[in-house]
Amino acid sequence: MKSFRTIAVGVLCLAVLCGAAILWRAHNQKAIEQKKLTDEASAYRARAEKGDAGAQYALAYMYYQGRGVPQDYHEAVRWARMAAEQGNAKAQFALGSAYQGGRGVPQDYLEASRWYGKAADQGYAKAQTEIGSLYYYGLGIVQDYAKAARWYRKAADHGEAVAEYDLGSAYYHGTGVSQDYIEAARWYRKAADQGDAGAQYALAYMYVHWFHKAADRGDAEAQYQVGYMYYEGKGVPQEKAEAVRWFRKAAKQGNLKAQRALRVSLSAPMKVLIGIDFLGILFLSLAAYGEARKGFGTLQRGAIVRELLAVMYLVLVFLSLFHVGVAYTIVFRVTMHLLRGIVVAMLIPILRPKSEKFVLKLSLILFIGFNLYATTRFSLRYPAAHLYLFYSANAFLIGMAIPSAAALRLAARKEEHDLNSHLRPHSMQSR
């Protein structure tokens, strides 16, 4: 028991140290970045006070964002106004945004349209987009869909993605221009190519809408395309189970692409890994079956548990191979890696008897090493990219530790029980 407590305390201390290291790295990195921004703000201020319009706008932006200086919308507006009055288009646009959002000044759509207009007349595409939106929604000026579409087109001709999306929407709904789905798709595609999420969704929705209609009428190619969209999450929520359902419909009609999508495609390393999994489970099951036939004692109950766990893991592997919807959830995959670790830990003592301590130490060393590596190497800015690897590896290593720890615990209890049984007759004789 003392050894287990020592190990638990050690792991807990390690976890605290890893957490402290992560916090220290984040704090140190933030302090360096903050110092750099403060120096940058000081340099801009020196130039802005001399009347440099570009520096005045840059300082206004820093006040607006709270970068290098305390966030202060009033100061942001003050410096933006200085630059805007000198004709800086970006500052004019920023001042229009302040009036539109009511940040640093009272909300005033008419004043926003005035400053947007000044920037738009200089060809500033973002201002052209915003004044188009004011005309579209009738904010501060008389609603006029035709004028909105004209401003959207001017901005779109400059390659402004938001304006391209808005112009596509105007064509899709027929507001300010004649309704034209082909033209709508053309402008949506331009915005989508620049990474505009709204345009990507709208374009995908148009495709999905028509593909769905064709798929519902039984067109095999459309059914495959709908399945592909669900599989990739393009224009619809990503749902692997729904994708498989549409792939199966298309495959039944002989669509080769759908049949290939349903076919299990594995890399060579994955085939080797699955082959090892199956051989290990077979060997474990045969060993467990051999022990279970000897009677129904503690060893036999353990053998039955091992066999059940092996079967559970085998079921999860099959569900994963045949693209069952639940197999794409993070809970399923983490559970599968946990069971894989348990199966590996149960298999090793069969190949090398009395190796539980070795397996437990190995799993703890790997657990500590992996988490130290994750602490120092995994990105602090983009942790989501590493979450699957982090959870899967830890689940596997924890799974390796569970059977070994349980076996050592049972062995310790059996030893204690045997010792008590040995001492009891002597105590009775002494009486």
Q: Are 201 and 235 in contact (CB under 8 A)?
A: yes
CATH of the domain at 65: 1.25.40.10
Residue 206 lies in a domain: no
Q: How many domains does the chain have?
A: 2
What does the pLDDT read at residue 191? 92
Cβ 285 vs Cβ 310: under 8 Å: yes
Q: What is the mean pLDDT of residues 364-370?
A: 85
pLDDT at 284 over 50: yes
- CB-hemisphere CA count at 13 Å for 138? 4
Helix, strand or coil, per DSSP, at residue 31: helix
The larger pLDDT score, comparing residue 132 to residue 315, is at: 132
pLDDT at 244: 82
The mean pLDDT of 121-148, rounded to a whole number, is 93
Mean pLDDT calculated for residue range 48-55: 88
Q: Which of 122, 151, 179 is the last residue of a domain?
A: 122
Last residue of a domain, one of 122, 142, 172: 122
**In this structure, is residue 277 part of a structural domain?**
yes
Asked if the model's pLDDT at residue 92 lies above 90, the reply is yes
The amino acid that residue 411 corresponds to is A
> Which residues, 6 or more positions from 33, have their beta carbon under 8 angstroms from its beta carbon?
none
The residue among 22 and 338 whose pLDDT is bigger is 338
pLDDT at 233 over 70: yes
- Lowest-confidence range among 82-86, 230-234, 278-282? 278-282
Task: Determine the pLDDT at residue 147.
Answer: 94
CA distances from 171 to 132, 185, 188, 195, 403 (A): 14, 9, 10, 20, 64
196 in a domain, yes or no? no
Query: Is it the case that residue 394 has pLDDT exceeding 50?
Result: yes
The parent domain of residue 368 ranges over 268-378+385-412
Is 145 domain-assigned? Answer: no
Q: Look over the chain and give the mean of its residue pLDDT values, rounded to a whole number.
A: 79
More confident residue, 154 or 390: 154
Listed residues 122, 154, 180: the one ending a domain = 122
Decide if 298 is inside a domain: yes
Residue among 107, 56, 169 nearest 64 (CA): 56
Q: What is the pTM of this model?
A: 0.50
In a domain, 350, yes or no: yes
Structure tokens belonging to residue 26: 């984040």
Residue 142 lies in a domain: no
285-321 pLDDT, tens digit per residue, is: 666 666 656 555 555 566 666 667 777 777 777 676 6
Q: Which of 116-125, 182-191, 193-202, 252-261 has the lowest mean pLDDT?
A: 252-261
Rounded to an integer, the average pLDDT of 134-156 is: 93
Q: Are 360 and 404 in contact (CB under 8 A)?
A: yes
Measured CA to CA, the distance from residue 394 to residue 14 in angstroms comes to: 15
Q: Rounded distance, CA 360 to CA 357, Å?
A: 5
Least confident piece of the model among 78-87, 188-197, 246-255: 246-255
Q: Does residue 246 register a pLDDT over 70? A: yes
Q: Is residue 353 part of a domain?
A: yes
Q: What's the half-sphere exposure (Cβ side, CA atoms, 13 Å) at 64?
A: 21
Res 298: pLDDT? 57
Dist. CA 188–CA 197, nearest whole Å:
10
